[in-house]
Structure 1
Amino acid sequence: MSDDAPAAPSDAAPRRRWKRLFVWTSAALAVVLVAGVGTAYAYYRVLRGNMVQHDLSSALDEEERPPKIGEDINILFIGSDGREGGNSAYGGRDFVGERSDSLMLAHISPDNGVTMVNFPRDSLVQLPECQPYEGTEGTYGYYGMINAALYHGGPPCAVKTIETLTDIRIDHFVHLSFVGFRDMVDAIGGVEMCIPEPMRDERSKLDLEAGQQVLDGEQALAFVRARYEIGDGGDIGRIDRQQMFLGALAEQVTSSDVLTSPSRTTSLLQAVSEHTATDQDLSLDQMISIGSTLADVDLHDITFYTVPWWPAPLDPNRVVWDEERAAELFQAINNDRRLDDAALETGAPSAPGASPSPSAQPSPSYPAEPSTEPVDAAADQAEAIEGRDATSNPCVNGLGEGTEEE
């Protein structure tokens, strides 16, 4: 036997020890990961339990709803102007009930990115009949303000209104308050924006200097709510600013450590759970599925649109939809196909200069068949429906281009 023969067993022993160490380390890591997932899921369950959830299936008649088409997901975001609790700090303490301060449809497609459609709150539309819901009185169908649907029948009535007007199936909804929006912006550390010129609006308490800056929750809320002392004082200009803010928000969330920071993620989840209501079907699995879809979406594939509109013939403070072009927009979304911006261009005529009524009471006396003839202001239509992707920079494209004169 050679002198080297005894060395073999001694070499094998360290290898066995390293193998055992690797196995035990892997097992320990697996236990830690499983425990972490379990803790995260338990934490999610606690947060989810704090959220207000609505049962759409019992509140809406399935036979009256549009059919589900394809694998895409449609989520209706309802920004509420209710003044209960902490929201009373934002004016109108004698305000009764709540109306939708903003309505936005997010169409999330695995193939075509994300399409966001704003419905102007000043829109005069045919509201459907809605049943009483959780303290609301319900309503008969009449021609009035779109934001009154929430007042009459809560989130189910808002969902029914959009489904009736667009023939698009709403899969889920998110009902958000002023305080919830403010706290979510603060939770991610604010949103960086470039403000092209000083902006002041006493009602919304907006006071911003020009230049690159980070908006905290209060400033962001004032920015997206401002309307009366900025631009033409109408809702269309405000929608333009809201879209720009959401573009900046999307860019920041996807390009920073917001989603990888435990503290910020925790604060964000707490803000969502405390101030947001959803439908019961927006489950953990659904959220994960939506999140995985959005993870692969490029910012250029997030596009914002506003429903094509005309100034209302009998009230310059209101708008009516351009039915033909609005139908083209809704059909494109329903069929999950890319929108043909050239075909959809209507351009928004300059919105009326007078300030709309802040109370936005419904007006059942309006005629059921509004005129679709354009008024003089429509002669200078520019870019009402033209899509804007999420990379739009207000300091490049300008709040004055598409807000002040749009």
Structure 2
Amino acid sequence: MGRHETTPRHRHARRRRRHRARRRGRGTLRTIVWTTGLAVLLGAAGAAAVVHRLQSNVHSVDIDSTLGRDRPPAAENGAMNILVLGSDSRMGADSGGAGGARSDTAMVLHVYQGRKQAALVSVPRDTLVTRPACATPAGTRDPGGARKMFNESYSVGGPSCAVSTVERLSGLRMDHFVELDFNGFKKIIDSLGGVTLTTTEPIKDAASHLDLAPGTHTLNGEQSLGLVRTRKSVGDGSDLGRIQLQQAFVKALLTQVRGNGLLSSPTRLLGLADTATKSMTTDSSLANARALMSLAGTLKDLGSSRLTSLTLPVGPDAKDPNRVVPLPTEGEQVWRALRADRPVPSSATASSLGDKGSAGSVVAP
């Protein structure tokens, strides 16, 4: 048969393949890069225009040029590390620094050799770390030092300083950097038609204006942002509890993405890709649609069953009850395992506060 010939059997096989492809859409970062890549493929006639449109949306930071050569070596076996941040501003993309903006969410995604398994390590924003010297937006140099709060790195020196701090903490080279701003997060949720989840306890947070009774809710973008930023009104009121809340929300989000037929609608797909790329800041090597397509292809085999999520092992700070510090032995177990491209041992998190919170008031449907 010619390569253009179509039979019912071939059409059925293609439908099965498309169904399997939709089910593989398993992660927030992966959803963004897949929607960007697929949008480019919507039609040959409009491909160039779509590429130009999406590329013009993405802001970028030249991390490699800023940080120079004094960095951990890249993995030699094809493993990859990506720093993913959620922030309330994209000023870092324009000025090299964040101008007082905050990074509320930080995750290190380690993709193992072969790109079929991954580990996602959340770093609590209140963790005290040793911050390296960083360039500031004003053109000066912050000296850094010991006992600096982790999320201040972004406020001091933007994405480059955040990357440098994570590399100093972990000994892992960050091959890529992706930042999603919170205004964009709200728009993405709204474009998906909201996210449905169930609260088993009331959640009322004055800071985020969130007021949810126990039961099932479909949250719009504003409510979803309030939920993932809620801290005092769930669990133990700490950032550790908020991380657990965010993990529960991500599960609900993945359920929503898989079930709403997004990838079967070119119009909705392009709209989401346009919204997502307008909300992103990346390292300069990812700042084009084709590079995002390549990353999507790299991550195509990752699924929730192949993703291990954990929080950096931490304990209470002896001097400040509102801060936590990395557990030296357990924290090094995590980073040593990832540097060696091996699974993180369960002993690394056994004594940590990070995965022992009680923010179980939200469950995915």
SS in 2 for 1:169: coil
Counterpart CA distance in 2 for 1:197 and 1:50 is 40
Deviations 1:146-185 (A, max 9, x none): 1111111110110010011101111111122210111111
Which of 293, 296, 320 in structure 1 is aligned with 2:301?
296
Counterpart CA distance in 2 for 1:98 and 1:214 is 29
TM-aligned CA deviation for residue 122 of structure 1: 0.3
The question of 1:224 aligning with 2:211 is answered no
Partner of 1:321: 326
Which of 25, 48, 51 in structure 1 is aligned with 2:55?
48
Partner of 2:130: 126
The question of 1:76 aligning with 2:83 is answered yes
Partner of 1:246: 250
Retained in 2: the 8 A contact 1:81–1:177?
Answer: yes
Do the aligned partners of residues 193 and 124 (structure 1) sit closer, same or farther apart at CA in structure 2, a change above 3 Å counting?
Answer: same
Which of 384, 389, 399 in structure 1 is aligned with 2:360?
399
SS in 1 for 2:216: strand
SS in 2 for 1:49: helix
- Letter of the 1:296 partner, please give it: D
Counterpart CA distance in 1 for 2:330 and 2:266 is 45
Do the aligned partners of residues 331 and 289 (structure 1) sit closer, same or farther apart at CA in structure 2, a change above 3 Å counting?
Answer: farther
Do the aligned partners of residues 34 and 261 (structure 1) sit closer, same or farther apart at CA in structure 2, a change above 3 Å counting?
Answer: closer
TM-aligned CA deviation for residue 244 of structure 1: 1.3
Partner of 2:196: 192
Do the aligned partners of residues 332 and 35 (structure 1) sit closer, same or farther apart at CA in structure 2, a change above 3 Å counting?
Answer: closer
Partner of 2:94: none
Partner of 2:71: 64
Partner of 2:33: none
Partner of 1:362: none
The question of 1:275 aligning with 2:282 is answered no
TM-aligned CA deviation for residue 248 of structure 1: 2.2
Deviations 1:194-246 (A, max 9, x none): 22222110101112222233222111100100112333221000011011111
Counterpart CA distance in 2 for 1:199 and 1:136 is 43
Counterpart CA distance in 2 for 1:174 and 1:163 is 15
TM-aligned CA deviation for residue 318 of structure 1: 0.4
Partner of 2:239: 235
The question of 1:206 aligning with 2:205 is answered no
SS in 2 for 1:232: coil
Retained in 2: the 8 A contact 1:251–1:299?
Answer: no
Alignment of 1:2-401 (within 5 A): 36-37=43-44, 39-82=46-89, 97-109=100-112, 110-132=114-136, 134-135=137-138, 137-143=140-146, 144-282=148-286, 283-341=288-346, 343-349=347-353, 383=356, 399=360
TM-aligned CA deviation for residue 340 of structure 1: 2.4
Do the aligned partners of residues 248 and 71 (structure 1) sit closer, same or farther apart at CA in structure 2, a change above 3 Å counting?
Answer: farther
- Letter of the 2:264 partner, please give it: T
TM-aligned CA deviation for residue 34 of structure 1: 8.5
Counterpart CA distance in 2 for 1:53 and 1:211 is 41
Q: Which has the higher contact order (CA 8 A, sep 6+)?
A: 2
- Letter of the 1:183 partner, please give it: K
TM-aligned CA deviation for residue 35 of structure 1: 8.4
- Letter of the 1:269 partner, please give it: A
Residue ranges of structure 2 left out of the alignment (5+ in a row): 7-39, 92-97
Question: How many residue pairs align between the two structures?
Answer: 319
Deviates more, 1:258-267 or 1:75-84: 75-84
Do the aligned partners of residues 160 and 22 (structure 1) sit closer, same or farther apart at CA in structure 2, a change above 3 Å counting?
Answer: closer
TM-aligned CA deviation for residue 63 of structure 1: 3.2
Counterpart CA distance in 2 for 1:96 and 1:71 is 35
Counterpart CA distance in 2 for 1:77 and 1:83 is 14
- Letter of the 2:335 partner, please give it: F
Partner of 1:4: none
Retained in 1: the 8 A contact 2:234–2:361?
Answer: no
Counterpart CA distance in 2 for 1:40 and 1:155 is 31
Partner of 2:34: none
Residue ranges of structure 1 left out of the alignment (5+ in a row): 1-18, 24-32, 85-94, 352-381, 385-396
- Letter of the 1:52 partner, please give it: H
Deviations 1:260-314 (A, max 9, x none): 3223222222222222211110143432233234332232222211000011100
Do the aligned partners of residues 317 and 398 (structure 1) sit closer, same or farther apart at CA in structure 2, a change above 3 Å counting?
Answer: closer
Counterpart CA distance in 1 for 2:252 and 2:361 is 17
- Letter of the 1:43 partner, please give it: V
Retained in 2: the 8 A contact 1:136–1:153?
Answer: no
- Letter of the 2:251 partner, please give it: G
TM-aligned CA deviation for residue 136 of structure 1: 6.2
Larger radius of gyration, structure 1 or 2? 1
TM-score by length of 2: 0.78
Retained in 2: the 8 A contact 1:77–1:173?
Answer: yes
Retained in 1: the 8 A contact 2:74–2:175?
Answer: no
